[in-house]
């Protein structure tokens, strides 16, 4: 199962539903419960760059439309993974001879969204005050 870092302390329906799904997976994969012999694991991911719903494509669209790059909060931070890293993590979790686990990859430091937007603006040669919070 592909889960999300939002399942840690759910504050939205998506995070809560992912957490419920994780708990169901753990319960169903419990060999003592005798529910199934299928091996099941979950992998918790952060933001996958280039995926549907990632801020990268959203920022790109906003730049192509002439801006501004919008942020919920300049100091908000997010963890990012490259698509290739994500595929490797999922394949590694699937290959493990374990069941009933939630795999949480070690991620780099979180990116402050305001700084990320400023970097994108610089690379697009846009004025520094171009983003809106």
Tell me whether residue 6 is one of the annotated catalytic residues. Answer: yes
Residue 81 is inside which H or E element, if any?
Answer: strand 80-81
- Please calculate the CA angle 120-111-123 and round it to the nearest 5 degrees: 15
Within 8 A by CB and 6+ apart from 25, the residues are: 1, 40, 41, 42, 100
- Which position among 6, 32, 39, 106 bears the catalytic label? 6
Q: Which residues are catalytic?
A: 6
């Amino acid at each position: 199962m592909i889960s999300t870092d939002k399942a840690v302390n759910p504050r939205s329906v998506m995070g809560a539903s992912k957490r419920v799904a994780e708990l169901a997976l753990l319960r169903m994969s419990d060999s003592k419960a005798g529910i199934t012999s299928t091996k099941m694991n979950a992998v918790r991911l952060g933001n996958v760059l280039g995926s549907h719903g990632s801020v990268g494509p959203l920022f790109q669209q906003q730049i192509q439309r002439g801006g501004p790059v919008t942020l919920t909060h300049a100091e908000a931070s997010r963890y990012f993974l490259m698509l290739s890293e994500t595929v490797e993590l999922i394949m590694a979790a699937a290959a493990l001879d374990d069941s009933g686990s939630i795999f949480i990859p070690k991620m780099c430091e979180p990116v402050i969204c305001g700084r990320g937007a400023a970097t994108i603006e610089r690379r697009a040669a846009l004025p520094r005050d171009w983003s809106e919070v």
